[in-house]
């Protein structure tokens, strides 16, 4: 098992910080899968968001950090229910206000190997110009000349000012309350040997 590494990254995220370099993700193969639901109904919606860019920083063969941008204009609904109406609503001011905030950002600030193929990370997530720390784990898998990073996490949308039909909003009708939790299933793909 690889030794435990804990490294605090600066905001610059330049390759010079690590002395080893960086690798860009494959934005065509990398994706964020999202899902959300009504709080008191079995009514889940899910879909995807694409990355506009992303970089992983290395020291030797160890991941030391990363910086990623998601293009919120690419959000789509893939469950087949209310597609155009739902996507339009997700993009407007009630949710992500994509016209004013088209990019969401994630900066990994701490990386800790807990196993050879699993990394515990602390990161800063910025949505609608609001930044909060989050924690999650990343699995690492090499296959077919690529390295695949996977992570599952849940965020509370209200921390980023997305209050529409939240359980904490006064006057919300029980049947229309939307869960504050957004589930994210993230897949990052890079070519191996970089």
Q: What is the pLDDT of residues 44-74, one digit of tens each?
A: 899 999 999 999 999 988 999 999 999 999 9
Positive or negative: CA dihedral 9, 14, 16, 18 = positive
Is the pLDDT confidence value at 97 over 90? yes
pLDDT value at residue 83: 79
pLDDT value at residue 174: 46
pLDDT value at residue 14: 35
Is the pLDDT confidence value at 137 over 70? yes
pLDDT value at residue 98: 98
* Residue 67 CB-density burial (10 A; 0-12 exposed, 13-18 middle, 19+ buried): buried
DSSP result, 59-118: ETTEEEEEEEEEEEEEEEE-SSSSHHHHHHHHHSTTTT-TTT--EEEEEEEEEEEEETTE
The residue extents of the domains of the chain are: 24-191
pLDDT band at 9 (very low <50, low <70, confident <90, very high): very low
CATH class label, 24-191: mainly beta
Q: What are phi and psi of 98, to 5 degrees?
A: -60, -30
Could you give the 3-state DSSP secondary structure of residue 189?
A: strand
pLDDT band at 169 (very low <50, low <70, confident <90, very high): low
Q: Which residues pair with 184 in a beta bridge?
A: 34, 153
């Amino acid at each position: 098992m690889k030794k435990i590494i804990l490294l605090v990254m600066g905001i610059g995220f330049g390759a010079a910080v690590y002395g080893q370099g960086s690798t860009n993700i494959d934005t065509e193969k990398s994706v964020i899968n999202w899902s959300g639901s009504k709080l008191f109904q079995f009514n889940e919606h899910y879909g995807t968001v694409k990355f506009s860019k992303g970089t992983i920083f290395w020291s030797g063969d160890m991941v030391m950090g990363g910086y990623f941008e998601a293009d919120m204009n690419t959000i789509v609904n893939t469950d087949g229910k209310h597609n155009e109406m739902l996507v339009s609503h997700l993009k407007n001011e009630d949710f992500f206000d994509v016209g004013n905030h088209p990019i969401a950002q994630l900066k990994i600030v701490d990386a800790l190997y807990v196993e050879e193929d699993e990394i515990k990370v602390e990161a800063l997530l910025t949505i609608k110009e609001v930044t909060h720390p989050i924690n999650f784990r990343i699995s690492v898998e090499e296959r077919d000349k690529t390295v695949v990073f996977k992570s599952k996490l849940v965020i509370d949308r209200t921390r980023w000012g997305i209050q529409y039909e939240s359980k904490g909003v006064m006057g919300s009708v029980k049947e229309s309350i939307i869960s504050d939790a957004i589930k994210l299933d993230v897949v990052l793909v890079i070519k191996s040997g970089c």
